[in-house]
Amino acid sequence: MKDDLILEAINVLSRRIEKLDDKLDQNTAMLQQQIKDVETRLDAKIDRVEKRLDAKIEAVNTKLDENTERLDTKIDGVDNFIRTNLKGVGRALNTAMLSLDKKIDDFKEENEVEHQQFRNELKIAN
């Protein structure tokens, strides 16, 4: 009789262990599925974030290119302005130098004429 009770207890424990093993297998399968679902959602989120970042980077690069192009245009405009004005200043300087040279020559002529007249007057006076 004792042996029968022990065998019965062993059978009950074995069935409980099998039920617990089955439950453990079910829970493990459920957790594995949940892990796969989480991985899938995370991958999808990562893809969306990467696409948004790529779009933002592209927008920043486009704006940077546009700003660089505008800056290059402005630099070219300033360069042309400076070159044009330097040419104009150079021409004005040349004109001023020619005018000054003419005035100096005129002054020398007048001085020479006056000097000659003064010498003539000195000769007459002597």
List the chain pLDDT tens, one digit each, 126 residues: 788 888 898 999 999 999 999 999 999 999 999 999 999 999 999 999 999 999 999 999 999 999 999 999 999 999 898 888 878 778 888 888 988 888 888 888 888 877 788 777 777 766
Q: Which contiguous run of DSSP H or E holds residue 112? A: helix 2-125
On whether residue 28 sits in a domain, the answer given is yes
On whether residue 16 sits in a domain, the answer given is yes
On whether residue 69 sits in a domain, the answer given is yes
**What's the maximum distance between 2 C-alpha atoms anywhere in the chain?**
178
Which residues span the domain enclosing 43? 1-99
The overall pTM is greater than 0.75: no
On whether residue 47 sits in a domain, the answer given is yes
- How many folded domains does the chain comprise? 1
CA distance 64 to 96: 47
Task: Identify the CA nearest to 72 among candidates 60, 84, 80, 82.
Answer: 80
On whether residue 15 sits in a domain, the answer given is yes
Place of tokens 């599925």: 33
Q: What is the predicted pLDDT for the residue at 94? A: 86
Q: What is the predicted pLDDT for the residue at 126? A: 61
On whether residue 45 sits in a domain, the answer given is yes
